[in-house]
Structure 1
Amino acid sequence: MKQLLLVFVGGGFGSVLRYLIGKQFNTDSFNFAWGTFCVNLIGSFVIGFIFGYILIKNKISNEVFVFLVGGFCGGFTTFSTFANESLSYLRSGQTRLFLLYVLSSIILGLFCVWFGYFVSTKFI
């Protein structure tokens, strides 16, 4: 029950922060889903950092891990919004934007996980 509460609270913080970033960056003046893109890259870095920190320091409690990874990162990042925005680009005939969004999200997301891991294992 305690873990469910930790996921709930962490997810709430992550979701609110995701909403605020999306509101700031996902406007009609941009022709790219910058809010979701940035949130997913930041979340990828954070989760890589956490896993690297755990591997090297092994000083994180299970409760903190559940709160940060299952809760905060789970609520902060959003695959479903990414998929919906990708489909919207396709449906509107913006094939280049679709490819740019999907490929850059995946490639840079993987890079951010690696970079977070690298930073936490080399500098912390």
Structure 2
Amino acid sequence: MPDAEPSRLVVVLAVIAAGGAIGAVARYGLAHAMPHQAGTFPWATFATNVLGCLLMGALLAWLHRARPARPLLAAFAGTGVLGGFTTFSTYAVETRGLLADHPVTALLYLFGTLAAALLAVILGSSAVRVAR
């Protein structure tokens, strides 16, 4: 967006920020609803990231076919809401925290999240393609 006029850039940033706030609150709510004890599988973060990837796959497939293009919707829903909702940084910190005392759980979480997230993107995008 380097060529975007300043007022357009402000609008895009505002849309992303609003979406990000919504996504972060939703993530917090899910984490609060599904607490986990230290050393156990972090189901809330796993569910958050897999659901976010499913929705991102569906959103991108839908946006790819949407005419006219909807760049503000992509910025709001994709970068904002789903970017604020998913939390791969927490996934990395939780994996690191599990490694010392719970290496099997850490490895299951590490590779299980990656596999499930990739599958979720494929399923989300495929569902939109089939539905159209």
- Common fold by TM > 0.5: yes
Q: Shift of the alpha carbon at 1:30?
A: 8.4
Number of residues of Structure 1 aligned to a counterpart in Structure 2: 123
Q: Deviations over 1:82-101 (max 9, x none)?
A: 0000001012x211101100
1:98 matched residue in structure 2: 106
2:79 maps to a residue whose letter is G
Question: Percent of pairs identical after alignment?
Answer: 27
Separation in 1 of the partners of 2:23 and 2:49? 11
Separation in 1 of the partners of 2:48 and 2:118? 14
Separation in 1 of the partners of 2:68 and 2:111? 35
Aligned-pair Cα RMSD in Å = 1.6
Q: Shift of the alpha carbon at 1:79?
A: 1.1
Structure 1 position 34 matched with structure 2 position 18: no
Q: Shift of the alpha carbon at 1:31?
A: 1.8
Matches within 5 A, 1:6-45: 6-28=15-37, 31-45=40-54
Separation in 2 of the partners of 1:72 and 1:61? 15
Shift of the 103–121 alpha-carbon distance from structure 1 to 2, 3 Å rule, reads same
Which ranges of 4 or more aligned residues in structure 1 deviate by more than 4 Å?
Answer: none
Q: Which blocks of at least 5 consecutive residues in structure 2 are unaligned?
A: 1-9
Tell me the TM-score normalised to structure 1 length.
0.93
Tell me the TM-score normalised to structure 2 length.
0.87
Separation in 2 of the partners of 1:120 and 1:59? 17
